[in-house]
Amino acid sequence: MKKIFLAALLIGAFVMPAQYVTAEEATTQTAVSSNNAVKTDVLKELMTFEEVMAAYQKEFPNSDIESIELDHQSDGWHVSVEGIDDDNKYEIKLNASTKEVTGKKEKKLDADEAGGAKRKKDKLDLKRLISFDEAAQIALKEVKSGEISKFDVEHHSDGTYWEIKLKDSNKEYEVTIDAYSKKVIDVKEDD
């Protein structure tokens, strides 16, 4: 049930084209090439969210998700999913285009974090989490234009936040959004 619900909420996170996602693309799911808008079947470009969760659950069943990150690097889009159970912390890294597992880790929790304490504190509430699409729209509304180069969602001591990084000409922005209420917490601009 969790996998299906999260897939419905976050499907936009894994259906972006293999380039940065511009404000126009985020609203229309259109890729821009040579100044011409061209519709693309973006589902074929990257792993679906269901495929990402299946890859994670295959390696680390019976654990909860702590964070999800989709990042555009020089060699394409990469996904990192971190999870936790009562005694261990897990991470799986995937190439979002080739669907290959590029890395995985398993680490024992410290004694003060074991027994479910950290799991209860850090797991994402998937039922209340706003989707990537919603978070992207909010971020793009704040900065007016730009290309999304990275997004992640994770729980912090004071809340659960989407952090969206955008690039526009020579400026970079980071928009922090409450992942449950949709409230914009902060907008940072770097030259």
Tokens of 176: 């922090």
pLDDT at 49: 66
Q: Is the pLDDT of residue 107 over 90?
A: yes
Supply the pTM of this predicted model.
Answer: 0.72
Q: Hey, which of 3-12, 63-72, 120-129 has the most confident mean pLDDT? A: 63-72
Tens of pLDDT, residue by residue over 131-154, are 767 887 899 899 888 888 888 989
Classify residue 162 by burial, with Cβ atoms within 10 Å: 0-12, 13-18, 19+: buried
Question: Residue 82 CA to chain centroid, in angstroms?
Answer: 11
Domain hosting residue 162, numbered range: 2-190
pLDDT at 45: 73
pLDDT at 54: 82
How many CB atoms lie under 10 A from the CB of residue 150? 18
pLDDT at 149: 84
- Which of the two residues, 149 and 5, has the higher pLDDT score? 149
For residue 45, what is the domain's CATH number?
A: 3.10.450.40
Q: Which long-range contacts (CB under 8 A, 24 or more apart) does 181-185 make?
A: 182/130, 182/134, 182/138, 184/138, 184/142, 185/159, 185/161
Q: Is the pLDDT of residue 87 over 60?
A: yes
Number of domains in the chain: 1
pLDDT at 40: 23
> What residues have CB less than 8 Å from 61, skipping those under 6 apart?
none
Half-sphere exposure for 25 (CA within 13 Å, toward CB): 26
- Which of the two residues, 168 and 109, has the higher pLDDT score? 109
Q: How far apart are CA 15 and CA 132, in angstroms?
A: 10
Of the candidates 99, 96, 109, 185, which has an alpha carbon nearest to the alpha carbon of residue 142? Answer: 185
Q: How far apart are CA 128 and CA 66, in angstroms?
A: 14
